[in-house]
Chain A
Amino acid sequence: MASSSPSDPNAAELDALRRPLRGRRLLSWILLLAALATLALVPWWLSSSAAERQADATAASAPRMTAVSAEEIQAHRTAHAWDRVWDAGPLDAAHSALSLDCRACHSEPFARVRDEDCTACHLTVTAHGGPSPPIAGDPAPRCASCHREHQGAQGLALQNIAQSGPACVDCHAELAARKPGLGLLDVRDFGDAHPEFAVRVVGDGGAWRKLRLGTAAATEPTGLKFPHDAHLEAGIDGPEGPQTLACGSCHRATEDALGFEPVRFETDCESCHALTLETSLARRSVPHGSVDDALSMIREFYSFAAGNPDPRRADVAPGAVQRPGATPAVDTRFVGRPGDALALARIEATDLFEKRACVVCHTVARVAESGPSGSPGADLPQYRIDPVAPVHPWMPGARFSHAAHAQSECTACHAAATSSEASEVLMPGIAGCRDCHAGAVAEPTQVRSDCGLCHDYHPAHAALKEADVLAGRLVPTGAQ
């Protein structure tokens, strides 16, 4: 094409005009090198030198026991946060404070984010099923196996809700065969492949027992006599006449509405089951809790009364009440039989412990030994009251919000109205839940229910631990 005879005067000009447009090669080199420099080499160099500085600074310090602080992030991050050009997407809102410091999580180049990078801040997270349980298809599950960052401001929150089901089933679908020692049954879906609920109760010798509902009577010794049915009858005797109790009369939800405050004598029983001396002395009651405190109180009271010149006067007789203008209530032992304080105290103690008060709810046994020496009540009859078992979650592996179910009657799930023994564990089975809850696939009239709706991956174990601490089976570290 470019051939031309030397005689042609236009040849040189034509050649020039047919030469490729200038700048292509130069521009190519400039853009290639600029891209490599600004996007690869500079961020790499800045981040690795910042990493070296950080390593030097932290080499001397002791192993950390606290979470990474904002000052540390600020001090050690890559200059100009230039490595942010590598940012794969916005962090979850909970992690947005780390946005300027890639190495807060990506501590080691060319290695995937390590669990230690997470636990540098998340100090109390407990491993699920022990460290690194084998999950199908993922021989070494990491925090990031389930928690994938850079998915937007709600990324992790959404994952925790929506991604929990399939990940759980990966392992739990055939866990019974693979890990028979765990005693867990297989789960595939809440709707049709979830075992009947089990409750964890205290068995013989104080060890935990797992009772599958429906297979045996779910009972647990409480040390109490408490018939729910009798208390839920309409028009039972109250301090001010007939009254009808509701569940909430005694059971108060915790602030998170996940569980209930323990029932306490003072707030939940005493208004009806008052521990008053000689029924008419309504302002004079023995303390609840310690046998010796109660006996001492009785002994002291009668000693005082014996020395009082006019015990008939209500204002002198401590605790005696009467309606204004009414005849003083004289029909009591205290008034009717002034005399030996010790004898009166013995009669009252026997009456209170064995007939009228303690024995109503507790198993009370008279014991031969004398009381603690030096105690005012030591010369009264002595009693042993069976301990009341501390409350604990019956289903510690599940999370149930009573607030979310407030539109239902309590008795729709808990058969309290027909329960006559305190030892009956009134936890409902799975069938009742399935009236409203479908599995992972939503049904038209039902609530879609992934594993994460009721189960937590980490806190389930934290809850177990918490319960063990409460029950005294575990002494928390640092408390010894």
Chain B
Amino acid sequence: MANDNILSHERLRYFKWSALLMAASIGGYALDTPRFGPGGGTVLGYTLGTLGALLIVWLLLFGIRKRQYVGGVGTVRGWLSAHVYLGLSLLVVATLHTGFQFGWNVHTLAYGLMVAVIASGMWGVAVYLRNPGLMSDLLDGKTLEQHAAALGEIDGQARALAATISPRFVELVEASSKAPIGRPGWRRLFRRVPGCTTTAAVESLRTDLRASEREVRDLFALQFRRLQQLKRIRAYLRLRAWTEVWLVVHVPLSLALLGALLAHILAVFTYW
């Protein structure tokens, strides 16, 4: 299936499961008339709570399943589709579990963390649906290595050309060839790359006294192409970083949720 994505996976199989789960929860909630009002302590409340807790544990298991490259039940893609839809249904299940009783306590904290995890998950889904296309457009059918290798080719031509002009230009080209492709760590999320010697080389060649000479003009063109190529690689890497940064929110928050969930369950039954 060419247009199959994590949302449309298996003809919306998990969407249907999720919709069924949400409809059952809402229906149960609508029909339930607990004596003391809705809440986590009614029969339906315990049911939805148990269901929600099992869902959370299962959703967390995705973090383990996606690392199992061989074996495992089903495909990672199928798991992800189910992860997304059942994760969204958790919002309904857990909200109805609360009976809309909120307060400054571990119970509402666990709920708030869950909402934050689901929200970051939605961000992740949006990113997963949007960014790969943009990234693939940037690579334009080649690999990143091929794009990086193109830099080397440009540098080779530039060195040869610079050698015919003047040592000053050789230095310029050498410096340019050492321009950083990106900034390490978290700074790769940002567009600015200070100390980019290729940008400096382009600027320097454009304003050089000998800029009108043909060889210099050619060298400028080479460096300009190098900068364009560099920007494409940087744009790709930046997009790649943004495609995964939501996970730095999603995963730690989901473990915080696990902690708060355990505390919630402990609290509820300690002070029953």
Among A22-30, A118-126, A301-309, which stretch is in contact with chain B? A22-30
For the complex, is B35 an interface residue (Cβ under 8 Å from A)?
A: yes
Please state if A83 and B240 are interface contacts (CB–CB under 8 Å).
no
Among A13-21, A200-208, A256-264, A394-402, which stretch is in contact with chain B? A13-21
For the complex, is A166 an interface residue (Cβ under 8 Å from B)?
A: yes
Given contacts A110-B270, A166-B35, contact A32 B149 (CB under 8 A): no
Q: Nearest A residue to B238 by beta-carbon distance?
A: A17
For the complex, is B91 an interface residue (Cβ under 8 Å from A)?
A: no
| B152 neighbours in A (Cβ, 8 Å) | 8-10
Among B177-185, B201-209, B210-218, which stretch is in contact with chain A? B177-185
Please state if B184 and A17 are interface contacts (CB–CB under 8 Å).
yes
Please state if A88 and B36 are interface contacts (CB–CB under 8 Å).
no
Among A34-42, A173-181, A291-299, A326-334, which stretch is in contact with chain B? A34-42
For the complex, is B51 an interface residue (Cβ under 8 Å from A)?
A: no
| A47 neighbours in B (Cβ, 8 Å) | 270
CB of A51, distance to nearest CB on chain B (Å): 11
A182 to B100, CA, bound (A): 42
A1 to B185, CA, bound (A): 19
For the complex, is B266 an interface residue (Cβ under 8 Å from A)?
A: yes
Number of A-B contacts (CB under 8 A): 142
For the complex, is B148 an interface residue (Cβ under 8 Å from A)?
A: yes
Please state if A86 and B106 are interface contacts (CB–CB under 8 Å).
yes
Please state if A102 and B145 are interface contacts (CB–CB under 8 Å).
no
A21 to B250, CA, bound (A): 13
Per-residue A-contact encoding for B31-42, CB less than 8 Å = 1, 0 else: 000011100010
Within 8 A of A (CB), among B24-83: 35-37, 41
Please state if A31 and B255 are interface contacts (CB–CB under 8 Å).
yes
CB of A40, distance to nearest CB on chain B (Å): 4
Per-residue A-contact encoding for B205-238, CB less than 8 Å = 1, 0 else: 0000000000000000000000000000000010
Please state if A21 and B186 are interface contacts (CB–CB under 8 Å).
yes
Residue of A14, A34, A35 touching B144 (CB-CB under 8 A): A14
Please state if A86 and B270 are interface contacts (CB–CB under 8 Å).
yes
| B182 neighbours in A (Cβ, 8 Å) | 13, 17
Please state if B271 and A102 are interface contacts (CB–CB under 8 Å).
yes
Given contacts A29-B255, A35-B259, contact A17 B36 (CB under 8 A): no
CB of A165, distance to nearest CB on chain B (Å): 10
A30 to B152, CA, bound (A): 43
For the complex, is A197 an interface residue (Cβ under 8 Å from B)?
A: no
Given contacts A14-B144, A113-B272, contact A20 B256 (CB under 8 A): no
Please state if A18 and B35 are interface contacts (CB–CB under 8 Å).
no
| A31 neighbours in B (Cβ, 8 Å) | 252-253, 255-256, 259
Q: Nearest B residue to A31 by beta-carbon distance?
A: B256
A214 to B184, CA, bound (A): 95
| B244 neighbours in A (Cβ, 8 Å) | 20-21
Please state if A106 and B186 are interface contacts (CB–CB under 8 Å).
no
Please state if B259 and A110 are interface contacts (CB–CB under 8 Å).
no
CB of B245, distance to nearest CB on chain A (Å): 6
Q: Nearest A residue to B182 by beta-carbon distance?
A: A17
CB of B48, distance to nearest CB on chain A (Å): 16
Q: Nearest B residue to A39 by beta-carbon distance?
A: B263
Please state if B37 and A167 are interface contacts (CB–CB under 8 Å).
no
Please state if A21 and B245 are interface contacts (CB–CB under 8 Å).
yes
For the complex, is A111 an interface residue (Cβ under 8 Å from B)?
A: yes
Please state if A24 and B247 are interface contacts (CB–CB under 8 Å).
yes
For the complex, is B101 an interface residue (Cβ under 8 Å from A)?
A: yes
With a 10 A CB-CB cut-off, give which of B103, B109, B151, B266 has the most chain A CB atoms: B266
Please state if A36 and B262 are interface contacts (CB–CB under 8 Å).
yes
Within 8 A of A (CB), among B162-185: 180-182, 184-185
Please state if A83 and B259 are interface contacts (CB–CB under 8 Å).
no
Please state if B271 and A13 are interface contacts (CB–CB under 8 Å).
no
Please state if A34 and B103 are interface contacts (CB–CB under 8 Å).
no
A398 to B149, CA, bound (A): 94
CB of A141, distance to nearest CB on chain B (Å): 12
Please state if A22 and B185 are interface contacts (CB–CB under 8 Å).
yes
Please state if A8 and B149 are interface contacts (CB–CB under 8 Å).
yes
Per-residue B-contact encoding for A46-62, CB less than 8 Å = 1, 0 else: 01000000000000000
Given contacts A23-B248, A39-B109, A86-B271, contact A151 B260 (CB under 8 A): no
Q: Nearest A residue to B270 by beta-carbon distance?
A: A109
Given contacts A21-B186, A39-B263, A86-B270, contact A32 B105 (CB under 8 A): no
Q: Known contacts A13-B180, A31-B253; can you find 16 more A-B pairs with CB under 8 A?
A: A8-B145, A21-B245, A23-B186, A24-B252, A28-B254, A29-B255, A31-B259, A36-B259, A39-B260, A40-B259, A40-B263, A83-B271, A106-B270, A109-B270, A112-B272, A166-B35
Task: Return 14 A-B CB contacts under 8 Å, by A number.
Answer: A5-B145, A17-B237, A21-B248, A27-B248, A28-B255, A36-B262, A39-B267, A86-B263, A86-B267, A111-B272, A151-B36, A151-B37, A163-B36, A166-B35
Q: Measuring CB to CB, which residues of chain A are less than 8 angstroms from any residue of chain B?
A: 1, 3-5, 8-11, 13-14, 16-18, 20-24, 27-36, 39-40, 43-44, 47, 83-90, 102, 106, 109-113, 148, 151, 159, 163, 166-167
Q: Measuring CB to CB, which residues of chain B are less than 8 angstroms from any residue of chain A?
A: 35-37, 41, 101, 103, 105-107, 109, 143-145, 148-149, 151-152, 180-182, 184-186, 188, 237, 240-241, 244-245, 247-248, 251-260, 262-264, 266-272
